[in-house]
């Protein structure tokens, strides 16, 4: 089968012929139909300092995808051949305190598809049956392949009650944009999404009716006053990984406000903790998705009319992968899909 493989410790990927994975007793073999490229895949493509430590080539990349069930192991009886599915990319253990208590997203023995073991940028991928999520008909193949980052947005956004609240989201990458769409869908009063890249703000406006602001051109404080907020934002969703954005957010929160931290800073950051304490802020770190409650809620939001389709800006055949990675490296795209 064809697969996009990081062959050696160097920049780029190669389209290779590799063996179809063997199917274990508790595994499912999926015929991949649609995949999406994640920031993680870009790090691996670019072979940056994180990737060179975390990745052991040769490795088939890819963890955002959907496909159809092609073959099942001898212990698998709950899926039918041809069924449309997506997959939770975190493969968890069953020994830790958290795993045994059902808090699967907090299992320290988690391994990641397309990072720690061969992933889905291939014609077939093999995963444990417990990671499969059947797709409802309302969710098309392209959306079915971005449910992993959509799940990050759902997990962060639904961490706090947003109904009637004023929400500040920093970072209009795909996850920030989808979070703005979710916040509006679930009834937030005001949603302000910031980014220093105007292209990204333009894309956000195509996805949902969020207010946007470029903090390198005007201040969040002025915008807040213009929007009629007197005491600051109730909820903050940090989705840029930028130190400046986080500090700006803390300054513009109301006393006792809630912040979800999802963006990953690339280097350690400097924070004045006393500012957080004197504002009595409640900060929650978000990792991955709650398995499988986030999947349930996310699919339900889509079935109830949440529309995120415009966050997908490009679709390519997998053989055009170089064009796709190039676009993303130039910061000129939202979600980019590879069809298999």
Known catalytic residues are: 40, 43
Calpha distance 254→258 (Å, rounded) = 9
Helical H segments across the chain, by residue range: 39-46, 49-54, 97-100, 141-144, 147-157, 174-185, 198-207, 220-226, 243-251, 273-278, 293-303, 321-329
CB 291 within 8 A of CB 88: yes
The reply to whether 215 sits near ligand NAD by the rule CB under 6 A is yes
Which value, to the nearest 10 degrees, does the dihedral of the CA atoms of residues 123, 126, 131, 134 take? 40
Calpha distance 170→263 (Å, rounded) = 9
- Lay out the site mask for Zn ion across 59-98 (x = CB under 5 A, - = otherwise): -----x----------------------------------
Stretch that binds ligand NAD, among 25-33, 131-139, 241-249, 314-322 (CB under 6 A): 241-249
Least distance in angstroms from the C-beta of 285 to Zn ion: 17
Query: Which lies closer to Zn ion via its Cβ, residue 38 or residue 181?
Result: 38
Query: Which lies closer to Zn ion via its Cβ, residue 167 or residue 262?
Result: 262
Q: Which residues does 72 contact at the CB level (< 8 Å), separation at least 6?
A: 23, 27, 28, 29, 79, 81, 129
Query: Which lies closer to ligand NAD via its Cβ, residue 131 or residue 194?
Result: 194
> What string of DSSP letters covers 166-184?
EEEEE--SHHHHHHHHHHH
CB 230 within 8 A of CB 224: no
CB 250 within 8 A of CB 243: no
Query: Which lies closer to Zn ion via its Cβ, residue 64 or residue 165?
Result: 64
- Lay out the site mask for ligand NAD across 43-72 (x = CB under 6 A, - = otherwise): ------------------------------
Calpha distance 13→327 (Å, rounded) = 15
The reply to whether 38 sits near Zn ion by the rule CB under 5 A is yes
∠ Cα 80 83 87 (to 5°) = 110
- What residues between 15 and 44 interact with ligand NAD by CB under 6 A? 39
Stretch that binds Zn ion, among 10-18, 34-42, 126-134, 332-340 (CB under 5 A): 34-42
The reply to whether 259 sits near Zn ion by the rule CB under 5 A is no
Calpha distance 235→281 (Å, rounded) = 10
Binds ligand NAD by CB under 6 A, chosen from 91, 172, 235, 299:
172
Binds ligand NAD by CB under 6 A, chosen from 91, 286, 302, 312:
286
Calpha distance 283→277 (Å, rounded) = 11
Binding partner at 170 among Zn ion, ligand NAD, none, C-beta below 5 to 8 Å by kind: ligand NAD
Binds ligand NAD by CB under 6 A, chosen from 34, 89, 170, 294:
170
Query: Which lies closer to Zn ion via its Cβ, residue 135 or residue 175?
Result: 175
Residues interacting with Zn ion, by CB under 5 A?
Answer: 38, 64
Residues interacting with ligand NAD, by CB under 6 A?
Answer: 39, 152, 170-176, 194-197, 200, 215, 239-242, 244-245, 262-264, 286-288
């Amino acid at each position: 089968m064809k697969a996009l493989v990081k062959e050696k410790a160097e920049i780029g990927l190669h389209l290779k012929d590799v063996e179809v994975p063997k199917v274990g007793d508790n595994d499912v073999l999926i015929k991949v139909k649609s995949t999406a490229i994640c920031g993680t895949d870009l790090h691996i493509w670019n072979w940056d300092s994180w990737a060179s430590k975390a990745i052991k080539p040769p490795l088939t990349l890819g963890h955002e995808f959907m496909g159809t069930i092609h073959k099942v192991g001898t212990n698998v009886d709950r899926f039918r051949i041809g069924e449309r599915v997506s997959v939770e990319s975190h493969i968890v253990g069953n020994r830790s305190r958290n795993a045994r208590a059902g808090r699967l997203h907090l299992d320290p023995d988690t391994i990641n598809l397309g990072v720690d073991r061969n992933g889905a940028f291939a014609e077939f991928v093999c995963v444990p049956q417990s990671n499969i999520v059947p797709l409802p008909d309302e969710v098309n193949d392209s959306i079915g392949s971005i449910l992993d980052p959509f799940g990050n947005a759902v997990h962060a956004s639904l961490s706090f009650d947003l109904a009637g609240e004023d929400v500040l989201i920093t970072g209009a990458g795909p996850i920030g944009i989808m979070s703005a769409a979710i916040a509006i869908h679930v009834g937030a009063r005001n949603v302000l999404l910031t980014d220093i890249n105007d292209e990204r703000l333009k894309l956000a406006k195509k996805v949902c009716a969020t207010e946007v602001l470029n903090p390198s051109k005007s201040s969040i404080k002025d915008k807040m006053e213009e929007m009629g907020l007197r005491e600051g934002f109730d909820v903050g969703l940090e989705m840029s990984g930028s130190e400046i954005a986080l500090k700006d957010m803390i300054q513009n929160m109301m006393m006792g406000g809630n912040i979800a931290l999802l963006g990953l800073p690339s280097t350690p950051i400097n924070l004045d903790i006393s500012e957080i304490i004197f504002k009595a802020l409640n900060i929650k770190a978000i990792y991955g998705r709650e398995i499988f409650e986030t999947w349930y809620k996310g699919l339900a939001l889509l079935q109830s009319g949440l529309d995120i389709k415009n966050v997908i800006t490009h679709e390519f055949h997998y053989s055009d992968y170089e064009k796709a990675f190039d676009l993303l490296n130039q910061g000129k795209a939202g979600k980019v899909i590879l069809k298999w």
